[in-house]
């Protein structure tokens, strides 16, 4: 009898092919404008503005007292404006809203009115204001005032016009590049921002101003504070040696004290970059 060949067992199956590696963890998305807005609002909610025409201004001067020449006669005038944290890219509109509080309007202007008017006129899509001319037109429509648009820098007649305007308790809207500490910087307009100036600190030649209608701060005997309703500015621009601007902007509740020279350099730098 022929022998039958034994049946061969099938080979074992190959090991399973390993699956693809798990995907890497998703990167966190950058914070949205809403998140930034909430951050500003969170910071602001833990603080409160210092009210009063001279309260916060004197505090800022005390913190920097060594910067001010004591051979000059220093006088401060300021009209308090309320603070408002901006909601998105609304710095120009917020600055205008703050400015309305210095115009002694018969009826208060709401922020919603400012925003809706700007959008209806086509000046803005999301609250941003890139045109100083449009912001001036918006101010005239919303406030019923006459807005003057300055050009050519802040030296000479423009600088004198600004500190006389502030002396009279009137607001000045200032475009500038906003650094991380909210100080003016030179970023070619890439950090464009708006602020409203409501006061001015001037260092003058001694004897330039009659101090009969001023008073001094108890902690700053060399600083003269102008009366609440000052007379028309009696200062000759030729006697002004140093000028600082008191301003607010929509990312902080606090006043800022900037030298007029730093703002002028910022605007001059932007102008040269624009025309280069």
Reported as a single tens digit per residue, the pLDDT across 144-163 is 999 999 988 777 788 888 98
Question: At residue 48, does pLDDT exceed 80?
Answer: no
Q: How confident is the model at residue 14 (pLDDT cuts 50, 70, 90)?
A: low
Active site residue 91: yes
Identified catalytic residue from 91, 143, 157, 185: 91
CB atoms within 10 A of CB 264: 17
| pLDDT tens per residue across span 77-91 | 999 999 999 998 999
Distance, C-alpha 249 to centroid of its chain = 3
Q: State pTM to two decimals.
A: 0.78
Local confidence band at 189 (pLDDT 50, 70, 90 cut-offs):
low
CA distances to 65, 116, 124, 161 from 89, in Å: 34, 14, 10, 29
- What angle separates helix 91-100 from helix 132-143, to the nearest 10 degrees? 40
């Amino acid at each position: 009898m022929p022998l039958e060949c034994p049946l061969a067992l099938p080979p074992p199956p190959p090991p399973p092919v390993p699956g693809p590696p798990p995907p890497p963890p998703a990167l966190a998305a950058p914070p949205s404008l809403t998140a930034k807005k909430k951050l500003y609002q969170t910071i602001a909610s833990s603080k409160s503005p210092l009210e009063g025409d001279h309260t916060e201004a004197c505090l800022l001067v005390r913190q920097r007292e060594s910067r001010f020449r004591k051979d000059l006669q220093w006088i401060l005038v300021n009209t308090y404006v309320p603070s408002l944290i901006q909601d998105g890219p609304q710095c120009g509109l917020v600055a205008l809203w703050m400015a309305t509080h210095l115009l002694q309007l018969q009826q208060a202007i709401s922020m919603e009115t400012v925003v809706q008017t700007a959008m209806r006129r086509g000046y803005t899509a999301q609250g941003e204001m890139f045109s100083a001319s449009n912001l001036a037109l918006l101010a005239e429509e919303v406030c019923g005032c006459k807005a003057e648009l300055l050009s050519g820098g802040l030296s000479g007649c423009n600088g004198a016009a600004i500190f006389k305007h502030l002396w009279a308790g009137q607001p000045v809207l200032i475009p500038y590049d906003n650094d991380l500490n909210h100080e003016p910087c030179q970023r070619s307009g890439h950090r464009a921002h708006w602020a409203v100036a409501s006061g001015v600190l001037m260092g003058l030649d001694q004897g330039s101003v009659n101090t009969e209608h001023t008073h001094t701060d108890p902690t700053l005997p060399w600083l003269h504070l102008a009366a609440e309703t000052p007379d028309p500015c009696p200062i000759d621009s030729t006697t002004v040696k140093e000028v600082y601007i008191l301003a607010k902007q929509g990312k902080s509740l606090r006043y800022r004290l900037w030298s007029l020279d730093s703002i002028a350099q910022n605007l001059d730098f932007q102008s040269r970059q624009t025309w280069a």
